[in-house]
Structure 1
Amino acid sequence: MNVLFVLAALLLGLMLAVGGETGLFSFLGMFLNVIVFLGMCYFLYQHANVYLTAFISCVLIACINFFFVNGWNQRTQSAFIGTLIVMVVVCLIVPYIVNKAYIQGFAAEETEELGHFTMLIDVNFSQLSLAVILVGMMGAVTDSALAVASAMTEVKEHHPTISQNELLSSGLRMGRDILGTTINTLFFAFFGSQLALIIWFKDLHYSFGQLLNSQLLVAELLTMLLTGMFAVLILPFTAWICAKRYTID
């Protein structure tokens, strides 16, 4: 526990040294996000509507990441609008994908570990899968949205007479610049966190076909791929919104 406090203090010190006041608010925002996440878990445990609870929780997380940390301004407003659009798209298409992929519930590999627990869980796992994907994508989506919005704000400030089409083209170019790093971050985060799972599959001597049909692996890969898709989708949405808002006469 002492190590955790020391590391937390070092993180706070580095964030203050590099980011100043913004670094402090970022550090506090991290804890607020944890509180929101724990609150979501509590309401889900109390059998609240999964879709509504997850959506409201993600809106609160977006508000913390944008407005609490970076203030109420044009770039955070634009990034927030883009994030809301992507969240609505997620809520519309992810339930269909989850049902078709059959990834809801516990995988066969988990049944032995859960054998001494009751299986009478009064939760809709199809809906819970949407909540997992929605919350899991928020970090990458909000990061990409704010990166594009901030860059386009700088372009507009340095070129006040820039046209809407030119600003949009500039925003799309910036989006393409961060596209590779965003996807690679998600890719290595997945394989880093699932390294033990990959080794476990090797010890189980799964064939390639069994691997592709493993619910446990498919669920994790699907989450990573969907998160990547929405992190990419936020880029043109945010660029278009910023171009519209920044060039209003």
Structure 2
Amino acid sequence: MIGVKADQPGLALLEKGTYRGFEVDVGSYIAKQVGATRVTFRTVTSANREDLLNDHSVDLVLASYSITPDRAKLVTFGGPYYVAHQDIMVRQEENGVQNVRDLAGRRMCQASGSVSTERVVTGLGIKPRLVPSPSYSDCVRKLLNGGVDAVSTGDLVLAGFATRFRNRVKIMNVPFTDERYGVGLRSGDVDGCEKVNRALTLMYQDGTAARLLHRWFGASNLALTTSVPEFEGCF
């Protein structure tokens, strides 16, 4: 059982009973390489990923799951399978936000369970007006209807929404962090982590990663990286 999000276009979106997106395809590829004969998916959120892994509800999580020291105390990470970069998305007509410093005083969405807000507020010392939200899909809804002025998180997440709502939103292309998206496994599953890393290495070497990245994000005009990321190591 693989945990993915259900509301992030490009990465993982549940429509008409089927999950589609880059993380869904990467999860399927990993499962095939480690010998799984059947792959099933389950919806996870930023707030419940660790719980669902460690109570055995899911075996892997691919859900824009940035590797951080605090999270690595709770789960074991394979990968990363992609190194994204935190960026900013605003409405198409917005001209007052040119970089992350311009978020000071503006309404920025704060998605539950995400570390992206912390990187702006604590890491950079910038003080936006935070608007809590359960998910990034809800953040984008708030952006579209004028409830917030900006959404800031990994550029692959933003790229999926920007492609879906083209001509209504824009990515500023002013990256200010690295977002190392890892495959979450149960804490201490070193053997599983090593198998995941072997599968990810092959995925980049055989051209599958490049094909999937361009399939799902090519229309966003992001500069996509198609070389094998440097893995964290399994412990």
Query: Fold-level match, TM-score > 0.5?
Result: no
Larger of the two Rg values belongs to structure? 1
Indicate the structure with greater helix content.
1
> TM-score with structure 1 length normalisation?
0.27
Q: More strand by proportion, 1 or 2?
A: 2
- TM-score with structure 2 setting the length: 0.29
